[in-house]
Amino acid sequence: MAFTAKILLLGSGELGREFVISAKRLGAQVIACDSYAGAPAMQVADGHEVFSMLDADLLAKAIEKHKPDFVVPEIEAIRTEVLADFEARGVTVVPSARATIMTMNRDRIREVAAVELGLRTSRYRYAETLEEVLAGAAHTGLPCVIKPVMSSSGKGQSTVRTARELEAAWTYAVANMRGDRSRVIVEEFIAFDYEITLLTVRSREGVSFCPPIGHRQERGDYQESWQPTPMSSAALSAAQDMARKVVDNLGGYGIFGVEFFVKGEDVIFSELSPRPHDTGMVTLISQNFSEFDLHARAILGLPVPEVRLAGGAASAVILADREADDFRFEGWQRRSRHPAGKSICGCSASRRPGPIAGWAWFWPRRRMRTRHGPLRRRLRARCGLFMGDEGEGPSRPLPQAGGECLGMASTAISS
Ligand SMILES: Nc1ncnc2c1ncn2[C@@H]1O[C@H](COP(=O)(O)OP(=O)(O)OP(=O)(O)O)[C@@H](O)[C@H]1O
Ligand SMILES: [Mg+2]
């Protein structure tokens, strides 16, 4: 069997699974890697490898064994020095080994954005001791946000409102950091009006953008997102200018999720992922080409088509409130057909520690004319339905679902 390219995917979660589907549609062979068997992307890939991607030897062995054309990281926690070695030996790392190293470390990407490129960011300081944390907070002012330099999905992150909380925030960050550097970033808290992800594609043809995605996070973790999100053209072009500068600096081809805070007309760069973004799950339903399609096309050197929106859409995570070996998604079948005929439904169980039980996609009842409040309420109502709730009540935890037992379900819900 001849394939268009061989891809070694590092990280096999739900986002990886969607990427495998997109890459396979373009004729690629994909070997999915993760530290546990049966991960979502492994369920649809051509082959798989189970090992810790933080283990340099095992990672090198997997690359040597498969001799991929492309190494595509899906997660941050990877021994990135190994990627740099293989890149030097001619393997294409997506988007580039440098991008994976820079974005895995908050301090390094912050230096690129704030110092090298002069982008507007929150005020910040780094700290490696409690004394430095106190000095950092004196520099940023309170409230401030403290995050380990190596972490994702809000792990080890806290917002500090009074000086008395600084010590606990430092201890919490160190206890929940990844890697072996006890180093945090102390950031000025930005009381933003809203925050966005600007999906930015860098391909042979240049840089292009998807319409902005609005999102809401709780405790630093993704809850729901919607596309498009209303934004002035001045703010959007400021975000696009900054995103272009960052992705051109990082180099390579693929999609980047560039995160910004917006306050009035002030657009503040936050951070970015050099890969599809969780808030961009909404593009599976909102765009003619999803973020996964665009990533695959840019990597494989194909033309990147113009992105068109199918109308306003939104997505949300379904959070579980307890551990369980088995769980069901209820109530979604009734809602899985959209009047326009497009319907996405599916469910795949995986086992991975963490609170997300699934994802849901929605077409809201009306166009998203307003700011975020009303949509948020509709999302909650739909989430309730999705989780087996008969009425349009408040969002409820998934029945019989647990923190250990995860899955992915997607549905287009007619209204
Ligand atoms: N300086 C800040 N001011 C206000 N809110 C902030 C600040 N920093 C982070 N947040 C909030 O916390 C969220 C997560 O922060 P950030 O993206 O830096 O963390 P993360 O752990 O890398 O998350 P992820 O991996 O999910 O992108 C942001 O989307 C925002 O809602
Ligand atoms: Mg983020």
Taking the CA of 147 as reference, the closest ligand is 1
Residue 188 is assigned to a ligand binding site: yes
pLDDT at 311: 66
Ligand 1 and 153: CB distance under 6 A? yes
| pLDDT digit string (tens) for the chain, length 415 residues | 799 999 999 999 889 999 999 999 999 999 999 999 988 899 999 999 999 999 999 999 999 999 999 999 999 999 999 999 999 999 999 999 999 999 999 999 999 999 999 999 999 999 999 999 999 999 999 999 999 999 988 899 999 999 999 999 999 999 999 887 899 999 999 999 999 999 999 999 999 999 999 988 888 888 778 888 889 999 999 999 999 999 999 999 999 999 999 999 999 999 999 999 999 988 887 889 999 999 999 999 999 999 998 766 777 666 555 555 555 555 455 444 444 333 333 333 344 444 444 555 554 433 333 333 434 444 443 433 333 333 333 333 332 222 222 233 333 322 2
d(CA 284, CA 265): 29
Give the residue carrying structure tokens 């495998």: 20
Listing DSSP states for 160-190 in one string gives E-SGGGHHHHHHHHHHT-SSS---EEEEEPP
* 68 DSSP assignment: -
**CATH architecture of the domain with residue range 6-93:** 3-Layer(aba) Sandwich (3.40)
Ligand 1, residue 189: give the atom nearest the CA: 3
**Cα 228 to chain centroid, rounded:** 17
Which is it for strands 206-209 and 184-188: parallel, antiparallel or unpaired? unpaired
Superfamily of domain 123-188 in the CATH hierarchy: ATP-grasp fold, A domain (3.30.1490.20)
Residue 330 is assigned to a ligand binding site: no
Residue 388 is assigned to a ligand binding site: no
The alpha carbon of 80 and the centre of ligand 1 are apart by a number of angstroms equal to 23
Residue 128 is assigned to a ligand binding site: no
Taking the CA of 217 as reference, the closest ligand is 1
d(CA 180, CA 291): 32
Phi, psi of 409 (to 5 degrees): -135, 140
Ligand 1 and 225: CB distance under 6 A? no
Collect all residues with Cβ–Cβ distance below 8 Å to 115 and sequence separation of at least 6. Answer: none
What is the Cα gyration radius of the chain?
Answer: 21
Domain boundaries of the chain, sorted by first residue:
6-93, 123-188, 190-311, 314-415
The identity of residue 152, as a single letter, is S
The alpha carbon of 365 and the centre of ligand 2 are apart by a number of angstroms equal to 28
| CATH tag, 190-311 | 3.30.470.20
The alpha carbon of 145 and the centre of ligand 1 are apart by a number of angstroms equal to 9
d(CA 411, CA 272): 27
Residue 199 is assigned to a ligand binding site: no
pLDDT at 216: 85
Residues pairing with 47 in the sheet: 31
**Element of type H or E holding 223:** strand 221-227
In Å, how far are 62, 157, 280, 399 from 215, measured between CA atoms?
A: 36, 18, 9, 25
* Helices of type H across 111-165: 130-140
Q: Answer yes or no: are the C-beta atoms of 285 and 361 closer than 8 Å.
A: yes
Residues measured by CB to lie within 5 Å of ligand 2, the ion: 259
Q: Answer yes or no: are the C-beta atoms of 209 and 352 closer than 8 Å.
A: no
Ligand 1 and 143: CB distance under 6 A? no
pLDDT at 116: 98
Collect all residues with Cβ–Cβ distance below 8 Å to 129 and sequence separation of at least 6. Answer: none
